[in-house]
Amino acid sequence: MNYDYLDCAVQLAPSHPKGLVLSNPVMTASGTFGYGIEYIDLIDIERLGAIICKGTTLMPRNGNSQPRIIETVGGLLNSIGLENVGVDAVIKDKAPVWEKWRVPVIVNVAGETIDEYIQVVEKLEGVNGISGVEINVSCPNITAGGMLFGADLKIVAKLTRAVKNITSLPIMVKLGPNVTNVTDIAIAVEDAGADAISLINTLKGMAIDIKKRKPCLGNISGGLSGPAIKPVALYMVYEVAKAVHIPVIGCGGIISAMDALEFLACGASAVQVGTANLIDLHATTNIVNGINEFMRDNNIKSLHEIIGSCLP
Ligand SMILES: Cc1cc2nc3c(=O)[nH]c(=O)nc-3n(C[C@H](O)[C@H](O)[C@H](O)COP(=O)(O)O)c2cc1C
């Protein structure tokens, strides 16, 4: 079926000189789709709006102790602990492959100090094959005694400004839900110069093996994702979209085209699909198809007729 007549393109960095245009609003969420390269022979990745790679740190990381993943009702708890190959390997081994793709790749960046984030983003500057950076602020800030970056409005703003000053790439800041007021943090991130905001990361949780009388995860706690968190994510996206003037990217529990459309109606310009990739390899491409079919069946020519349609 040819849907070329539908206008599904979205601009995620309208104020940035380079911009960040996606052919459709469906991206993969960080940590659930590797570096995209693993999927080349399995799905048509060129049909995706963008790929967001695994959280990248300055040095390679082994992550947390096992077990690191456990299913819960309607969701998944993970405590991967940012296992990744490190920024140098991303530049050397992954970016040359990405460079040949039409689909934009956004590098998700993590760190324990502002300086670590800066060093990673500096290394990404000028590397072909990278279209943007997503700053994951749900990391423990070791200079603030292990408190989450994303929980402190002033630190998130400082981090955003610092990163923005040293890169020519569009920057999106990914917020987590484990905060008192996500809207205030989103406004601070916008004021600090972010091009876009993505939300939400996982919700802090735990599971117990009652026979062993022990936590299921080696790390005791983990991050909850999947359909169980969708209503929380949807509400946070709605609230943030009302409060900021930069694009918002919705994430959390999206497994179908209808889920994605709900986020768009709540003001998201695009969506990220995470846990659904672990259930069905074709989750993202099925969502792209489903959005096209919904538009065709409801005589909607442009996605912009849907984006923000539920906002007051
Ligand atoms: C196994 C796993 C690993 C993840 N790793 C990262 C990561 O490295 N960086 C990040 O910003 N988010 C990470 N996330 C969070 C997801 O990108 C996403 O924000 C979250 O899972 C909510 O979306 P979902 O319900 O569609 O999975 C991870 C999630 C899972 C399930």
What's the CATH code of the domain at 51? 3.20.20.70
Report residue 25 as tokens.
Answer: 């609003």
Asked if residue 194 belongs to a domain, the reply is: yes
Backbone φ/ψ region at 66: left (φ over 0), alpha (ψ -120 to 50), beta: beta
Domain range for residue 147?
A: 10-59+84-203+226-305
Residue 75 lies in a domain: no
- Does the residue 78 lie in any domain? no
Q: How far is the CA of 92 from the centre of ligand 1 (A)?
A: 24
The answer to whether residue 18 is domain-embedded is yes
Residue with CA closest to ligand 1 atom 2: 31
Distance 247 CA to ligand 1 centre (A): 20
pLDDT in tens, 136-148: 998 877 777 777 8
Nearest CA to ligand 1 atom 9: 55
Stretch 151-173: mean pLDDT: 96
Q: Which of 43, 25, 24, 23 is nearest to 33 (CA)?
A: 43
Q: Which of 230, 290, 295, 294 is nearest to 263 (CA)?
A: 230
- 38-51 pLDDT, tens digit per residue, is 999 999 999 999 99
Judge whether 71 lies within some domain.
no
Residue nearest to atom 10 of ligand 1 (CA): 30
Residue 177 belongs to a domain:
yes
Q: Closest Cα partner for 74 from 224, 205, 285?
A: 224
Best residue among 27, 32, 106 to mutate for probing ligand 1's pocket (most ligand atoms within 8 Å of CB) is 32
| Banded pLDDT at 259 (limits 50, 70, 90) | very high
Catalytic residue positions? 139
Q: How many domains does the chain have?
A: 1
Q: Residue 174 CA: which ligand 1 atom is closest?
A: 11
Contacts of 19 (CB under 8 A, 6+ apart): 11, 13, 170
Q: Is residue 255 part of a domain?
A: yes
Q: Is residue 65 part of a domain?
A: no
Can you list the pairs that 255-258 forms with residues at least 24 positions away whose Cβ atoms lie under 8 Å? 255/226, 255/227, 255/279, 255/283, 256/286, 256/287, 256/290, 257/286, 257/287, 257/289, 257/290, 257/291, 257/293, 257/294, 258/290, 258/294
Distance of CA 301 from the midpoint of ligand 1 (Å): 32
Cβ(249)–Cβ(12) below 8 Å: yes
Share of the chain above pLDDT 90, in %: 94
CA-nearest residue for atom 23, ligand 1, is 252
CA distance 105 to 95: 9
Residue 1 has pLDDT above 90, yes or no: no
Ligand 1 pocket at CB < 6 A: 29-32, 54-55, 76, 78, 80, 82, 108, 136, 174, 201-202, 225-226, 229, 251-254, 273-276
* Model confidence at 246: pLDDT above 80: yes
Please give the distance, rounded to the nearest whole angstrom, from the Cα atom of residue 251 to the centre of ligand 1: 9
